[in-house]
Amino acid sequence: MKYLIIIFLSFGVLYSQAQINKTDIAFLQKKQDSLALFAKSIVEAREPAERFRSDSIFTRVFVRALKTTNSFYFPFDSVLSISRLYAPDSSFKIFTWQVSRDEDMHRRHGAIQMKTSDGSLKLLPLIDRSFLIMNQKDTITNNEWWIGSIYYKIIQKTFNGKNLYTLLGYDENSIRSTKKRIEVLQFDNNGMPIFGGNYFSFSKDTIPKPMQKRFWIEYKKNANGRITYDEDMDMIIVDHLISQSNEPQKKYTYIPDGDYEGFKWVNGKWEHIEKVFTLKLEDGQAPVEKPIKK
């Protein structure tokens, strides 16, 4: 069985800056050691029952650790098999991971930890209901109806005074295909998360398409389709895919063809660009994501 992607991400904030007292630091470090072992077991245990058991224990221990005052600033950087992302404006952290029964069944788990003025815990669990959401491209969801992804990048934009956080995510999907997804996260007036919205425009395409709530690519297992953010271009770059066997209805046959499409932030929307570069790039010239390990 493939190993869960392991993402090494820096929060850019050291917990020593948060004035966590020494007793709490020692407690969190001890919990981190336990969490690292259970997180490893979620990925590496041979039997599905053991992986799910480790996931259950990991979740309980993790929540107890997060209840520590100012845990928001503790990096948990020894827990390597979960994704830990820090919002660019320091307003929240988002944790995501997955547990797999086999190569064809994966469940994502996660939580958003909000920054609070008194260091208390405000935690919003993410409940993966992907298998119940039929029209995912055009459905707005919340944390209790979450389309599960392992997030590896947050891009912050502001429009009409509203902070919008674009999430790039990875989904093992199935034994035949992998998905990568782009969606926008925002928070309502009560501080609750909203995933998706009318942010993906295809009005400038040769054949215009309706607005989408989110965007993703699906491609052949191990074909290494990429969605990445190029800071210099201020653009999301996406591998253009074609069917390797000329069967466009079969997404598991799709592979990158060397071209790139993309999205540019324009007037509060990610505007689709059909062809980012006029010339095909040679190997090694394309924008790359941060290193990941499997």
- Asked if residue 136 has pLDDT above 80, the reply is yes
Q: Which residue has the higher pLDDT, 196 or 284?
A: 196
What confidence category does residue 293 fall into, taking pLDDT thresholds of 50, 70 and 90?
very low
Residue 114 belongs to a domain: yes
> Are residues 86 and 193 located together in one domain of the fold?
no
The pLDDT of residue 283 is: 58
Query: Region 242-251: what's the mean pLDDT?
Result: 96
Residue 97 belongs to a domain: yes
Give residues with Cβ within 8 angstroms of 91, minimum separation 6.
114, 115, 163
Which residues in 128-284 belong to E strands, given as ranges? 141-142, 150-159, 162-171, 177-187, 193-195, 200-202, 209-212, 215-220, 227-230, 235-243, 254-266, 269-273
Residue 160 belongs to a domain: yes
Averaged confidence pLDDT in the chain? 90
The pLDDT of residue 268 is: 96
Please give the Cα distance from 81 to 71 (Å, whole number): 19
What is each CA distance from 52 to 38, 58, 64, 173, 223, in whole angstroms? 10, 10, 19, 18, 28
Residue 185 belongs to a domain: yes
The pLDDT of residue 259 is: 95
Q: Which residue has the higher pLDDT, 134 or 157?
A: 157
Query: Region 127-141: what's the mean pLDDT?
Result: 93
What confidence category does residue 10 fall into, taking pLDDT thresholds of 50, 70 and 90?
very low
> Are residues 156 and 211 located together in one domain of the fold?
yes
> Are residues 173 and 285 located together in one domain of the fold?
yes
> Are residues 164 and 236 located together in one domain of the fold?
yes
Query: Region 15-20: what's the mean pLDDT?
Result: 56
The pLDDT of residue 289 is: 57
- Asked if residue 59 has pLDDT above 80, the reply is yes
The pLDDT of residue 101 is: 87
pTM equals 0.87
Extract the tokens encoding 62: 């993790």
What would the pLDDT profile of 64-118 be if each residue is shown by its tens digit?
A: 999 999 999 999 999 988 999 999 999 999 999 999 888 878 899 999 999 999 9
In total, the chain counts a number of residues equal to: 294
List the domain range (segments joined by +) for residue 56: 1-127
The pLDDT of residue 290 is: 54
Number of domains in the chain: 2
The pLDDT of residue 192 is: 97
> Are residues 96 and 167 located together in one domain of the fold?
no
Q: Quick one: CA dihedral 44, 111, 140, 197, positive or negative?
A: negative
Please give the Cα distance from 127 to 109 (Å, whole number): 6
The pLDDT of residue 5 is: 40
What is each CA distance from 161 to 152, 164, 265, 268, in whole angstroms? 25, 10, 15, 11
Please give the Cα distance from 294 to 287 (Å, whole number): 20
Which residue reads 């969605």 in tokens?
Answer: 227
> Are residues 81 and 147 located together in one domain of the fold?
no
- Asked if residue 280 has pLDDT above 70, the reply is no
> Are residues 106 and 193 located together in one domain of the fold?
no
- Asked if residue 14 has pLDDT above 60, the reply is no
The pLDDT of residue 20 is: 85
